[in-house]
């Protein structure tokens, strides 16, 4: 008996027309100009993005430019090292630009172009979303303004250089803490001023309606492909599917096609240094319901309701809120949200690198670390992990803080190696 048959019509039911996933989501922006801009965007999305021409063009871009479909890969050597559970990876790290972010950036940019807009606006923290969006802008010949806090600009010099080489304007934000929150505010203000010729492109499945819906739909290519590929390779569904959760884009894209299957779903949040306020960014696990950046969801806030300081060694996971669909899936108990700390993620990064020849992003290593924890229980079964990105961007940081991973166990005895 499949306990999840109630989810058969899930994506037709959620979100509703106002962008609510149960009580989460919506659009809480007060600025009337921004309200108008988002209204126009939602209408554009509902009509243009569902046309046969749009769908056909996005498929072509994904195949010819992004390199999709990305493979599902069986980690035979790592699985044998860990015991009886079989680990499989959905290789989103093999996308052009090295992570899943390009999936929704190409969709958002194609929509902008189809709506007759000439500019893309976004904020970026670590620079990953900025680089993916600058790439999309270059592909479509659109202008691109990326707002970035001065502190982040100094920390993320290689990504700033990539965005500039791709032709984007990186606009420094110099007030407040000079990091992501101020950059989000500055990008929203720019959108309110410029929406007649520009669109705002969010970096994750969060924000006011229609972003959580739009990003989910553009990212679900991950789960749609992975589900079909896994069944083709093994003849059955995986027992468990695991993905890391920052704002929630790679995980929601992975989970949605599995919601009505008898498959356990795990969203992995960053525990950073520990469970005290300020040490982590585990929003679903430790946060509370509230409104931030124009939408209602779980968030980590201070006593004034402002975004709390959050921390993880994965800069793509240290966001103080989570996409509203995750908040709903948590309250429905359909996805289990669990945590992994800095050190365990780095151990997973080394294990995968040394046993399979794949260096994952620290974000993705959080998901892998949870799969490894399950493997250590020693039971037979299969786990499909979304490897959301590659680790090249993290290497300097990893070497400086953790070294080269000497002493990591490897599966030496390869007597059982066969041509697969």
Catalytic residue among 74, 75, 201, 375: 75
Sheet-wide strand order for 264-272: 72-74, 85-91, 381-387, 240-244, 264-272, 335-341
Residue 96 annotated to the active site: no
The β-bridge partners of 390 are 360
Tokens of 144: 């691109």
Residue 273 annotated to the active site: no
CB nearer ligand PLP, residue 88 or residue 218: 218
Residues 242-261 that bind ligand PLP (CB under 6 A): 244-251
Q: Does 156 bind ligand PLP (CB under 6 A)?
A: no
Q: b or e along 21-39 (b: 16 or more beta carbons within 10 Å of the residue's beta carbon)?
A: bbebbbbebeeeebeebbe
Query: From CA 319, how far away is CA 414, in angstroms rounded?
Result: 42
CB nearer ligand PLP, residue 179 or residue 204: 204
Q: Does 128 bind ligand PLP (CB under 6 A)?
A: yes
Instruction: Output the smallest distance, CB 83 to ligand PLP, in A.
Output: 26
The β-bridge partners of 199 are 120
Instruction: Output the smallest distance, CB 358 to ligand PLP, in A.
Output: 13
Instruction: Output the smallest distance, CB 417 to ligand PLP, in A.
Output: 30
CB nearer ligand PLP, residue 15 or residue 389: 389
CB nearer ligand PLP, residue 66 or residue 251: 251
Residues 386-405 that bind ligand PLP (CB under 6 A): 388-389
In angstroms, how far apart are the furthest CA atoms of the chain? 68
Instruction: Output the smallest distance, CB 106 to ligand PLP, in A.
Output: 15
Question: Measured at the alpha carbon of residue 122, what is the angle toward residues 116 and 127, in degrees to the nearest 5?
Answer: 135
Residues 190-229 that bind ligand PLP (CB under 6 A): 204
Displacement of CA 43 from its chain's centroid (Å): 24
Instruction: Output the smallest distance, CB 309 to ligand PLP, in A.
Output: 18
CB nearer ligand PLP, residue 204 or residue 285: 204
Instruction: List the x/- string, 351-370, binding to ligand PLP by CB under 6 A.
Output: ----------x-xx------
CB nearer ligand PLP, residue 42 or residue 126: 126
Residues 28-87 that bind ligand PLP (CB under 6 A): none
Query: From CA 51, how far away is CA 72, in angstroms rounded?
Result: 29
Q: 């080489």: which residue's tokens?
A: 165
42 CB-near residues (< 8 Å, 6+ apart): 19, 209, 210
CB 271 within 8 A of CB 294: no
Instruction: Output the smallest distance, CB 253 to ligand PLP, in A.
Output: 8
Among 71-79, 186-194, 239-247, 395-403, the segment contacting ligand PLP (CB under 6 A):
239-247
Instruction: Output the smallest distance, CB 363 to ligand PLP, in A.
Output: 3
Instruction: Output the smallest distance, CB 385 to ligand PLP, in A.
Output: 12
Residues 306-325 that bind ligand PLP (CB under 6 A): 316-317
Task: Dump the DSSP string for 248-272.
Answer: SHHHHHHHGGGTTSS-EEEEEEEEE
Q: How far is CA 384 from CA 16, 72, 134, 267, 336, in A?
A: 30, 9, 31, 12, 15
Tokens of 4: 């999840």
Number of residues that bind ligand PLP (CB under 6 A): 18
CB nearer ligand PLP, residue 85 or residue 97: 97
> What's the start-to-end Cα distance of the chain, in Å?
34
Query: From CA 170, how far away is CA 230, in angstroms rounded?
Result: 40
CB nearer ligand PLP, residue 76 or residue 363: 363
Among 39-47, 154-162, 241-249, 292-300, the segment contacting ligand PLP (CB under 6 A):
241-249
Burial class (CB in 10 A: 0-12, 13-18, 19+), 146: buried
Among 58, 81, 87, 99, which residue interacts with ligand PLP (rule: CB under 6 A)? 99
Catalytic residue among 74, 100, 104, 366: 100
CB 180 within 8 A of CB 299: no
Binding footprint of ligand PLP on the chain (CB under 6 A): 99, 128, 204, 244-251, 316-317, 361, 363-364, 388-389
Supply the residues annotated as catalytic.
75, 100
């Amino acid at each position: 008996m499949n306990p999840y048959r109630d989810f058969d019509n899930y994506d037709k039911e959620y979100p509703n027309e106002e962008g609510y996933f149960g009580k989460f989501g919506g659009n809480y922006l007060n600025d009337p100009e921004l309200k108008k801009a988002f209204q126009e965007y939602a209408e554009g999305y509902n009509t243009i993005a569902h046309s046969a021409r749009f769908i056909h063009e996005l498929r072509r871009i994904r195949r010819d430019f992004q390199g999709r479909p990305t493979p599902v890969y069986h980690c035979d050597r790592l699985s044998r090292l860990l015991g009886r559970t079989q680990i499989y990876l959905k290789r989103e790290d093999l996308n052009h630009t090295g992570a899943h972010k390009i999936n929704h950036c190409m969709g958002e940019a194609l929509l902008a172009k189809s709506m007759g807009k000439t500019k893309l606006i976004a904020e970026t923290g670590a620079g990953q979303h900025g680089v993916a969006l600058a790439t999309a802008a270059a592909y479509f010949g659109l202008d691109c303004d990326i707002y970035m806090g001065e502190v982040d600009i100094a920390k993320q010099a290689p990504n700033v250089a990539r965005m500039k080489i791709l032709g984007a304007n990186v606009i420094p934000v110099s007030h407040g803490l000079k990091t992501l929150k101020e950059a989000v505010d500055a990008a929203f203000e720019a959108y309110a001023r410029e929406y007649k010729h520009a669109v705002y492109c969010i970096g994750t499945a969060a924000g006011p309606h229609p972003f959580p819906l739009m990003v989910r739909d553009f990212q679900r290519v991950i789960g749609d492909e992975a589900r079909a590929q896994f069944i083709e390779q093994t003849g059955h569904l995986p027992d468990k599917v695991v993905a890391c959760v920052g704002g929630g884009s790679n995980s929601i894209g992975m989970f949605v096609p599995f919601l009505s299957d008898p498959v356990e779903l795990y969203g992995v949040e960053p525990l950073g240094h520990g469970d005290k306020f300020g040490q982590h960014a585990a929003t679903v696990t430790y946060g509370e319901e509230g409104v931030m950046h124009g939408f209602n969801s779980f968030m980590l806030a201070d006593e004034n309701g402002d975004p709390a300081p959050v921390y993880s060694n994965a800069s793509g996971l240290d966001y103080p809120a989570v996409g509203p669909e995750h908040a709903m899936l948590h309250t429905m108990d359909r996805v289990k949200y669990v945590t992994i700390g800095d050190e365990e993620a780095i151990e997973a990064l080394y294990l995968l690198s040394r046993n399979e020849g794949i260096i994952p992003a620290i974000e993705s290593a959080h998901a892998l670390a949870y799969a490894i924890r399950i493997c250590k229980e020693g039971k037979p079964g299969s786990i499909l992990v979304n490897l959301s990105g590659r680790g090249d961007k993290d290497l300097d940081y990893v070497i400086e803080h953790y070294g080269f991973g000497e002493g990591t166990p490897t599966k030496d005895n390869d007597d059982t190696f066969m041509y697969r």
